[in-house]
Amino acid sequence: MAAFVWTGLVTLLALFVYFWTIGQVSRARTRHGVEAPSTDGPPAFQRVLRVQVNTLEQIVLFLPGLWLFANIWGDHQAALIGLAWPIGRVLYAVTYYADAKKRAAGFGLALFGTSVLLVGSLIGLVRYLLGI
């Protein structure tokens, strides 16, 4: 594990950001009086819920990409690129909570990080196969 300390820390950071979006839904349920199992509520509640669902959708893409990249290109490289994800997702959440139309920048930053990790991993694996 010593070989992947920074990738491990970025993983935990991403999980804490994701966990925070879940906690926001609990708080929004109370604030807007939306009792489980219902997910119907005013737009302000829908935005909080969509942030959480979207963060779930994206972390499933991010974490495997991060770890593939770390195993191929190294711990520091993966962690540095991977940092774009938690930063982007916090920006995404905060802007989306205020106004659904402003969510693009944070979404794009996180997705950029994920894309570099996935495409970089693909390049690394193909290089292995070709022996170059």
Least distance to a copy of itself, CB of residue 118, Å: 6
Backbone angles phi, psi at 90, to 5 degrees: -70, -45
Please, which residue, 42 or 87, has the CB nearer to a copy of itself? 42
Contact 32, 42 (CB under 8 A): yes
Closer of 89 and 103 to a copy of itself (Cβ): 103
Residues forming the site for a copy of itself (CB under 8 A): 1-2, 5, 8-9, 11-12, 15-16, 18-19, 22, 35-39, 43, 46-47, 49-50, 52, 56-57, 59-61, 63-65, 68, 71-72, 96, 100, 103, 118, 121-122, 124-125, 128-129
Query: In this structure, which amino acid lies at residue 4?
Result: F
Minimum distance, C-beta of residue 8 to a copy of itself, in the bound complex (Å): 5
| Contacts of range 14-20, beta carbons closer than 8 Å, 24 or more positions apart | 14/59, 14/62, 14/63, 14/66, 14/82, 14/85, 14/86, 14/89, 15/59, 16/86, 17/55, 17/86, 17/89, 17/90, 17/93, 18/55, 18/56, 18/59, 18/89, 20/93
63 vs 90, which CB is nearer to a copy of itself?
Answer: 63
Which lies closer to a copy of itself via its Cβ, residue 33 or residue 57?
A: 57
For residue 109, the minimal CB distance to a copy of itself (Å) is 17
**What's the closest the beta carbon of residue 62 comes to a copy of itself, in angstroms?**
10
d(Cα 69, Cα 73) in Å, to the nearest integer?
6
